[in-house]
Amino acid sequence: MVGAIFGPSVWNKLTRLIVAIAFLFKSRSPNWITVKNELIGATRVRVYYPAERKTDSLIIFIHGGGWATMRPGHYDNVIYMLIARLGVLVISIDYRLSPESPYPEPVNECEAVFHRLVNEEYKRFGIDPKRICVMGDSAGGNLSTVVAQRQLRKKLTLPKCQVLIYPVIHSFDLKSPSYQIYYKQLCGTSLLNPRLMARWYLLYLGIPAIPANIEKFLANCHLRRKDSDRLQELISHELLPTEFSEDHSEKQTDSAPDDELCRLFNKNGFNPDFAPILGKDLFGLPPAMIITAGYDILRDEGVLYAKRLQSFNVPVQWNHYPAAYHGVINMPSSMQRNQILDDIVHYLVMNL
């Protein structure tokens, strides 16, 4: 209703306010961590300095929120848990958000931070530039792996590894089995719903996020038939584990493509810097841990990206948590969250 009356920009600002209120009463930082808001180049970062560092490696954390909401401080408790176990320096990127800063600005900012850290700023922070993990959740997972792909294409220093927590990988199928599960079982009960995701896609791509465009996006009207057919080798439901698709893979009939929406989407929608599943020649990409959740509309694309990376001999550890949901790492009392963070720590001990 707010978006329909006041427009998508006001709607998004209201969403940011609601999110900020939810984190107003977060706990103070432990006395064994110093947290500072700093700059790397022109980009704001939040730096977490452990009182006793156990390693000269680094985690670059890139937060989620649909490229449009959330801030590094909303992940403080997640970072504290990682530092408590690993004794590692963490730098969280406070990239600019859409729609004020649409694609590719957040990608460019995150890449610039990584570039400066491996080429000059590593001295400032006392880190080994060859021992950096890029980690992010949701849209931050998207930005993390895009940074890694960009470094590979440019033949520059790569991250040591990447940890992608229920990442956004593509926007080519908003009727996949994980979306169908939402409509059948989770409607109105999930932190991330299809309409919200469609809105964020549009805002990030600089496409008017009006109600009509959101409905068309949900119906896959942003894809021309030839493009949809071409993508099946990467996103077909048949590529998913049988248990993911057996009850929710009935053939979905897409509505007729909308010429104007297709035109707007085609400007950037098929760029691997937006849809990393389209990355080519990914041999040599750093090892990846990919985390998916059972109650998450993004579940299927995470699995498909794991398969895509494996086709290029990229070492992949895919961890699926059937009882988890999108956003679970921000839920302090969740046992699933604790298990996920335990598994991430174990992975980093072995790979970073």
Q: What is d(CA 70, CA 136) in angstroms, rounded to the nearest whole number?
A: 12
HSE, side-chain direction, 13 A CA sphere, residue 244: 26
Residue 59: phi and psi, rounded to 5, are -105, 125
Label the pairing between strands 89-93 and 43-50: antiparallel
Q: Which of 94, 273, 296, 300 is catalytic?
A: 296
Q: What is d(CA 228, CA 102) in angstroms, rounded to the nearest whole number?
A: 25
Alpha-carbon separation of residue 50 from 36, 82, 85, 136, 148 (angstroms)? 11, 11, 11, 20, 26
Label the pairing between strands 58-62 and 161-165: unpaired
Residue with tokens 């990409």: 285
Q: Which of 57, 138, 144, 178 is catalytic?
A: 138
C-alpha closest to that of 63 among 100, 33, 19:
19
254 is catalytic: no
Q: Is 194 buried (19+), middle (13-18) or exposed (0-12) by CB count in 10 A?
A: buried
- List the structure tokens of 308: 């895509």
326 is catalytic: yes
296 is catalytic: yes
Rg (CA), the chain: 19
Size (the chain), residues: 352
Residue 26, classed as helix, strand or coil, is: coil
Q: What is d(CA 96, CA 105) in angstroms, rounded to the nearest whole number?
A: 7
Q: Which residues are catalytic?
A: 138, 296, 326
